[in-house]
Amino acid sequence: MFPKNAWYVACTPDEIADKPLGRTICGQPVALYRGAEGRVAALEDFCPHRGAALSLGAVVDGNLMCGYHGLVMGCDGKAVSMPKQRVGGFPCIRSYPVVERHGFVWIWPGDPERDDEAAIPDLFWAHHPEWAYGGGLYHIGCDYRLMIDNLMDLTHEAYVHTDSIGQGEIDEAPVQTRVEGDQVVTSRVMQGIVAPPFWQAAMRAHGLDDQALVDRWQMSRFTAPGHVLIDVGVALAGKGGFEADARDKVSAIVVDFMTPETESSHWYFWGMARHFQPDDDALTDAIRAGQGRIFSQDLAVLEAQQRNQRNFPGRRLLALNIDAGGVRARRILDDLIQAEAA
For residues 110 and 133, membership in a common domain is answered with no
Q: Highest mean pLDDT range out of 135-139, 162-166, 171-175? A: 135-139
For residues 98 and 160, membership in a common domain is answered with no
For residues 256 and 134, membership in a common domain is answered with yes
Residue 240, domain extent: 128-341
Give per-residue burial for 68-100: e unless 16+ CB within 10 Å, then b.
eebbbbbbebbbbbbeeeeeeebeebebbbbbb
User: Residue 8 above 90 pLDDT?
Assistant: yes
DSSP helix/strand/coil, 237: coil
35: how many CB neighbours lie within 10 A of its CB? Answer: 19
User: Residue 61 above 90 pLDDT?
Assistant: yes
DSSP helix/strand/coil, 238: coil
Evaluate whether residue 186 is within a structural domain: yes
For residues 145 and 98, membership in a common domain is answered with no
Report the mean per-residue pLDDT for the chain: 96
User: Residue 257 above 90 pLDDT?
Assistant: yes
Predicted confidence (pLDDT) per residue in 302-338, tens digit? 999 999 999 999 899 988 999 999 999 999 999 999 9
User: Residue 254 above 90 pLDDT?
Assistant: yes
Q: What is the dihedral of CA 5, 51, 40, 107, to 10 degrees?
A: 20
**CATH (domain of 270):** 3.90.380.10
Distance CA 339, CA 159 (A): 38
Percent pLDDT > 70 in the chain is 100
Q: What local confidence, expressed as pLDDT, does residue 88 receive?
A: 87
Q: What share of the chain is helix, strand, coil (3-state, %, to 5)?
A: 30, 35, 35
273: how many CB neighbours lie within 10 A of its CB? Answer: 21
For residues 112 and 136, membership in a common domain is answered with no
The mean-pLDDT minimum among 39-53, 128-142, 158-172, 175-189 falls in 158-172
CA-CA distances (angstroms) from residue 34 to 13, 48, 115?
Answer: 9, 20, 20
Predicted confidence (pLDDT) per residue in 73-102, tens digit? 999 999 999 999 998 899 999 999 999 999
For residues 163 and 291, membership in a common domain is answered with yes
Q: Which of 278, 319, 264 is nearest to 142 (CA)?
A: 264
Percent pLDDT > 90 in the chain is 93
Distance CA 290, CA 163 (A): 11
- For the chain, the residue count is 342
- CA angle (250, 256, 262) in 5-degree steps: 165
Q: What local confidence, expressed as pLDDT, does residue 87 receive?
A: 85
Evaluate whether residue 291 is within a structural domain: yes
265: how many CB neighbours lie within 10 A of its CB? Answer: 16
Predicted confidence (pLDDT) per residue in 206-216, tens digit? 999 999 999 99
User: Residue 1 above 90 pLDDT?
Assistant: no
Q: How many domains does the chain have?
A: 2
User: Residue 342 above 90 pLDDT?
Assistant: no
Residue that is last in its domain, among 118, 152, 177:
118
Q: What local confidence, expressed as pLDDT, does residue 246 receive?
A: 94
Predicted confidence (pLDDT) per residue in 272-306, tens digit? 999 999 999 999 999 999 999 999 999 999 999 99
CA-CA distances (angstroms) from residue 235 to 78, 119, 206, 229, 238?
Answer: 56, 33, 11, 19, 8
